[in-house]
Structure 1
Amino acid sequence: MVIWSLGSALETAAVGTALKLQMIKLSYLGTVSTAPLFLLFALGYFRPGRRLPPAVLAALWAVPAAGLALALTAERHGLLWRSPRPSGLPGSNLLVYGHGPAYWIMLAHAFLLVLAGTVVVVRGVMRGQGTSRTSGPIVLAAAFLPWLGMVVHLTALNPWPGLDMPVMAFALTGALLIWGISTRRLFSLIPLARDLLVEQMADGLIVLDAQDRLQDANPTALRILGRREGVVGRPAEEALASCPAIARAAAQAEDSTADLQVGEGRYYELRTTAVRDVRGELAGRTLHLRDITRRRQAEQEKERLIHELRQALADVKTLHGLLPICASCKKIRNDQGSWQNLEGYICEHSEAEFSHSLCPDCLRKLYPDLSSGQGGAAGPAGPEG
């Protein structure tokens, strides 16, 4: 823009056709770059984080590069301009240029790029993306000033034939943006950072308006829904039709939190939050989707381990409760009603194992000679049977 303005100013002030043509060539360094840079600025500000593929960038700059080459060699072919003549304005040394076919191709290309950039700006401002209430009108005015300059330049509305009106319009655009930056915090990093955060966040975010139309969805939410685009502006029932669980949860008007399964093996925590305006009326809702698949898998694994542990404990043979035992022979009545030897019953109903020995009393009773030889005291184990 600076190069275009400087070259145009020097061309206006220059005396002589040859010098003016050299200044025009200088201005073309900026002329061919302004429209592509305007589009790239609009995309970079209102759609942060989305880079154009190299092939698209190459196509974007192909016509400007060819136009610059034609401008530098204009005298040889006349494809860009031809037959410059004085404008005829009293006291003016302005030249009016006849336009060749390449000029109209470049103009159409510039129109398309500026139109695309304007659409991006208008959509971004209407959605409040990256702008505040005060900065939105400034950005809109800056976007439409170049259009006004081009219309005046190409029609009989130009009061000074030969004067480059588009460069004046772009200069006014630059002045307006500088004023907005210095006084209205235009292009503050805060809205840019907010947009980048929403676009690049790992959680899905969906915005519904008061009429239950989907107004915005970040890339993560679109991936969860299995959609690439084409959902903005559609009713929630239609936009969320691919995920019935999300659609059912989104139908609730009040704030809520729910865990739901989407597809096979993916679990999400859906938090629905009502958005209200300054009067307290419902303005819309936000749906926040957080992937909790790993947490749910960990919970399922814990539940599985607890179940297996309980099953293992249930399989362990334990003795508990009242045991019917004979006071004389010490047999135990089992669950089938039969009287069973104490040793056999315990072996069947526990993991205990028996080692056989004699207590001191039985040792004296069964082996009196052995016990008397030991001074009436048997060892703790005695002879094993």
Structure 2
Amino acid sequence: MQVTPEVWVSSLSGAAALLVAGYSWRLRSAPGARALTAFLLAAALWAAGNAAQAAATTLPQKLVAVDVQYVGIAVAPVAWVVFAARYADRDSWLTPRTLGLLCVVPLVTLTVAWTNDSHALLRTGAALERAGGVVTLTREFGPWFWVAWAYFGVTNTIGTGLLLAALVRSPPAFRGQVVAVLAGVSVPAVAQVAYFAGASAFEPEAFVGVTALAFGYALSQHSLLDVVPVARDTLVEELDDGVLVVDATGRVVDANRAATRLLDTTDVVGEPVGRVLSDRLDGEAPVSVTDAEGRERWVAVTESGLDNDGTLVRVRDVTDLERKRRELARENDRLNRVADTISHDVRSPLTVASGSLALARETGDAEDFERAARALDRVERVVDSTVRAARTDLGVPERERVDLGSVARDAWETSETGDAALEVESTGTVLADRAQVRSLLENLFRNAVAHGDATTVTVRATDAGFVVADDGTGIAAGERGRVFDTGYTTSDAGTGLGLSIVQAIADAHGWIVSLDAAETGGARFAFDTGSETRAAQQQKAERRD
């Protein structure tokens, strides 16, 4: 037996690989842990076999040690590919057929190594050389050795490629572990090339200790197997909530599919979080966003700190909850409006009717009966208007692209407009709740004809939204600031609810409504929807062309 530097290096490498394999086995329930343990055990046996071969001084002893090495050589490439695939979330590759094919060359190599004396396919010759008092083994390799060597290179390349792919798509929190593993497996590969090129006297298996130490570092310092990209994919990607990882400089370094769907963006990684979320981090109240399908959603944005001074931002879809909350608030407002109308507008004519009937009983004067009848007619109109207002759906708008011309014509058909005419001068689409827009237009049409004596009502799309104008008597400048108030009316026959419904629907959509005189002398209601109509966008595009 002889003790040389190669014996020491190989022994230490084998011991290191064995220790890290034990550590990895403790985490065997984690994805890839069993494959990593098998790889490290194979590396330990490979290195230990090399130590035994280097320490032996007779040819039979050295060849037995080499045969032991081939057990590790056969297991290592298969275990390496399996580990890399599991780490990189490529479990779908590991089918029984693939695993079977991966094992063909290693099994043949092991069989050929143990039966080499009968065919010399792996080794055509072996001899001892003595230099400086050290006995070394020299070998002439057969054709199968180079097949096995090529197979080892291919599997090493596949595994390394999978890790590189994981490195590219991993957030910074995972990159330390990937770099450590890549560095560890690269040293023996370089040593192997150097050995066969004659640039190194040490066999490559002597350096597997570097691989073991790299894995040990990744396991202990970077939570390899505890937190790996596969965990990120299976957990974060399957969440219904959007998740953004923001680094210390305020840039988004990772985002799951739910985040890109809710925020209607694809190239979010690398962007400043302020640009992605605007000012949404400034408050805890849900905010409105338009998702990838063009639907309005409500999201709650929360954040929490990470160990690396980064931030984890959670974008939670609270659309259903927010709609219910807003619906409840609007139902309460609706009930309050009904109560206010009944207490104010119904009580007064009822008092008149009661007093008139009392006088009629005493005097029998027909005028008293007529006054009571008019008061009761007023009550009926108030009740009808109140019921109509109560039935108007002022819930959270279900926004979609609504064609102004189409909804205006539908609203005209169901409005009491007599002989008046509707003109749709230009049309376009707005993002709105169709049923609510129809109710808004019905109230405007009814108001124009019944209280403004309009003969023509015009609907027109604008750059800012849309306009409804008429050729009636209009609304005096001094009255325009109050006509949207609930219960306010400029007509004895009015109830003051129609235009308040218009204002409520506009508020529900976040629109700004303004009132001025139309060119035709009537009233002109302009709605700023906060975004251009599709017609305006097309007109601008045509002007640019």
Distance 2:279 2:256 in 1: 21
Question: 2:494: which partner in 1?
Answer: none
**Aligned residue number for residue 83 of structure 1:** 124
Match runs of 1:64-75 below 5 Å? 64-74=103-113, 75=116
**Partner of 1:159: helix, strand, or coil?**
coil
Matched with 1:267 is 297
Number of residue pairs matched by the alignment? 322
Distance 1:333 1:191 in 2: 93
Greater percentage in helix: 2
Q: Per-residue deviation at 1:72?
A: 0.7
TM-score normalised by the chain length of structure 1: 0.59
**Structure 1 residues 126, 202: closer, same or farther in 2, change over 3 A?**
closer
Q: How does 1:189-268 map onto structure 2 within 5 Å?
A: 196=232, 198=236, 201-207=239-245, 214-222=252-260, 224=262, 231=267, 236=271, 249-252=276-279, 255=282, 258-262=287-291, 263=293, 265=295, 267-268=297-298
Paired position in structure 2 for 1:5:
47
Check the 8 A contact 2:78/2:102 in 1, yes or no: no
Q: Choose from 217, 223, 234 the match for 1:187.
A: 223
The answer as to 2:101 corresponding to 1:62 is: yes
**Secondary structure of 2:244's partner?**
strand
Change (3 A) 1:138 1:87: farther
How far residue 2 of structure 1 moved from its aligned partner, in angstroms, is: 2.5
Instruction: Determine if the alignment matches structure 1 residue 34 to structure 2 residue 76.
Output: yes
1:89, distance to aligned residue in structure 2 (A): 4.5
Flag the 1:9–1:210 CA change in 2: closer, same or farther, 3 A.
closer
Residues 67-88 of structure 1 show CA distances to partners (whole Å, capped at 9, x for unaligned) of 3223313536655x23132263
Farther off after superposition, 51-60 or 330-339: 330-339
Who is 2:199 aligned against? Answer: 157
Q: Is the 8 A contact 1:129 1:195 kept in 2?
A: no
Q: Is the 8 A contact 1:63 1:109 kept in 2?
A: no
Pairing of 1:41-60 with structure 2 (within 5 A): 41=83, 50-55=89-94, 58-59=97-98
Identify unmatched segments of 5+ residues in structure 2: 1-42, 384-545
Matched, 1:293 2:334: no
Rounded to whole Å, the distance in 2 between the matches of 1:154 and 1:17 is 21
SS of residue matched to 2:223: coil
In structure 2, relative to structure 1, the CA distance for the partners of 1:276 and 1:28 (3 Å cut) is closer
User: Deviation string for 1:343-377 (max 9, x for gaps)?
Assistant: x99x98999xxxxxxxxxxxxxxxxxxxxxxxxxx
Matched, 1:94 2:137: yes
**Matching residue's letter, 1:271:** V
Instruction: Using the TM superposition, give the Cα deviation of residue 53 of structure 1 relative to its aligned residue in structure 2, in angstroms.
Output: 0.5
- C-alpha contact 2:167 2:179 (8 A) present in aligned 1: no
Mark the CA change 1:78 to 1:211 in structure 2 (over 3 Å): closer, same or farther. Answer: farther
Give the secondary structure class of the aligned counterpart of 2:129.
Answer: coil
Letter of the 1:250 counterpart: L
Task: Please tell me the residue identity of whatever aligns with 1:171.
Answer: G
**Alignment map for 1:83-162 (pairs within 5 Å):** 83-86=124-127, 88-90=129-131, 91-100=134-143, 101-116=146-161, 119=164, 123=168, 127-129=172-174, 131=176, 139=181, 141-160=183-202
Q: Cα 1:271–1:254, aligned 2, differ >3 Å: closer, same or farther?
A: closer
Q: Please state how far the C-alpha of 1:206 moved relative to its aligned partner.
A: 2.6
In 1, are the aligned partners of 2:185 and 2:211 still within 8 Å (CA)? yes
1:320 aligns with 2:347: yes
Offset, 1:112: 0.9
What is the alpha-carbon distance in structure 2 between the residues aligned to residue 270 and residue 40 of structure 1?
A: 41
Residues 1:42 and 1:7: Cα distance change in structure 2 (over 3 Å): same
Q: Distance in 1 between matches of 2:165 and 2:91?
A: 14
> Which consecutive unaligned segments of at least 5 residues does structure 1 have?
238-245, 352-385
Larger radius of gyration: 1
The answer to whether the aligner puts 1:329 opposite 2:361 as a matched pair is: yes
Decide whether the 8 Å contact of 1:332 with 1:340 is kept in 2. Answer: no
**Aligned match of 1:240:** none
- Report how far residue 267 of structure 1 moved: 2.1
Work out the CA distance in 2 between the residues paired with 1:221 and 1:350.
Answer: 49
In structure 1, distance between residues paired with 2:230 and 2:367: 73
Identify the residue that residue 362 of structure 1 maps to in structure 2: none
- Could you tell me which amino acid in structure 2 is paired with residue 66 of structure 1? V
Deviation at 1:338, TM superposition (A): 0.8
Look up the equivalent residue of 1:173 and give its one-letter code. Answer: T
Q: For residue 106 of structure 1, report the CA deviation from its aligned partner.
A: 0.8
Per-residue deviation, residues 302-344 of structure 1 (Å, max 9, x unmatched): 4676688679879999952232324462589999981458xx9
* Contact preservation (8 Å) 1:259, 1:268: yes
124 and 170 in structure 1: CA distance in 2 versus 1, 3 angstrom threshold: farther
Closer/same/farther in 2, CA of residues 126 and 28 from structure 1, 3 Å limit: farther
AA paired with 1:169?
Answer: F
Distance in 1 of aligned mates of 2:81 and 2:68: 22
- After superposition, what is the alpha-carbon deviation per residue over 1:275-314, rounded to whole angstroms, capped at 9, x for unaligned? 8999xxxx98765321223324434654676688679879
Moved more, 117-126 or 86-95: 117-126
- Partner of residue 360, structure 1: none
CA separation in 2, counterparts of 1:55 and 1:249?
Answer: 38
Distance 1:85 1:179, change over 3 A: same
Determine what percentage of the aligned residue pairs are the same residue.
17
